């Protein structure tokens, strides 16, 4: 679904289906203008989805708030192995929250955070996790 301009409304509908879907393993939502509200709904679905292994949310301008919500649900998610969040302007605060979630998440082994303005503090916290 990458580069299809699904927007926030599309992301919300996809998030609803992810809550009950048990067969989808890979979801590419790169460059879809889902913004913070769409990211929040996708994040919530990570709390219940047990089949998704790879999620690409790159270049969706989810911002710090979107990253904070993703981090919240990463703590309990047990299926996600790869998460792409590049080009989302999550900033240091978003990176710090994601770093905190990595301390408890035991299944995520690939995380892309390029071009997010995480700064020194964000990088330090990611490195510590």
d(CA 95, CA 115): 12
Residue-wise pLDDT tens for the chain (129 aa)?
Answer: 999 999 999 999 999 999 999 999 999 999 999 999 999 999 999 999 999 999 999 999 999 999 999 999 999 999 999 999 999 999 999 999 999 999 999 999 999 999 999 999 999 999 998
Query: In 3D, which of 35, 54, 45, 60 has the Cα closest to residue 13?
Result: 45
C-alpha distances out from residue 57 to 34, 77, 101, 105, Å:
9, 16, 17, 19
Q: Please work out, in degrees rounded to the nearest 5, the angle formed at the alpha carbon of residue 40 by the alpha carbons of 37 and 41.
A: 95
Which pLDDT belongs to residue 11?
98
In this prediction, residue 58 carries a pLDDT of 98
The three-state secondary structure class of 27 is strand
Q: What is residue 69's predicted lDDT score, i.e. its pLDDT?
A: 98
CA distance 60 to 38: 9
Q: Which residues pair with 110 in a beta bridge?
A: 82
């Amino acid at each position: 679904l990458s580069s299809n301009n699904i927007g926030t409304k599309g992301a919300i509908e996809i998030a609803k289906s992810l809550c009950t879907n048990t067969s989808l393993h890979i979801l590419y939502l790169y460059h879809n203008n889902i913004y913070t509200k769409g990211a929040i709904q996708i994040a919530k679905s990570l709390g219940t989805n047990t089949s998704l292994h790879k999620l690409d949310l790159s270049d969706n301008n989810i911002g710090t708030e979107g990253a904070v919500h993703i981090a919240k649900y990463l703590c309990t998610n047990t299926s996600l192995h790869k998460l792409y969040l590049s080009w989302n302007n999550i900033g240091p605060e978003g990176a710090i929250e994601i770093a905190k979630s990595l301390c408890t998440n035991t299944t995520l082994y690939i995380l892309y955070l390029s071009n997010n303005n995480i700064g020194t503090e964000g990088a330090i916290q990611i490195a510590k996790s």
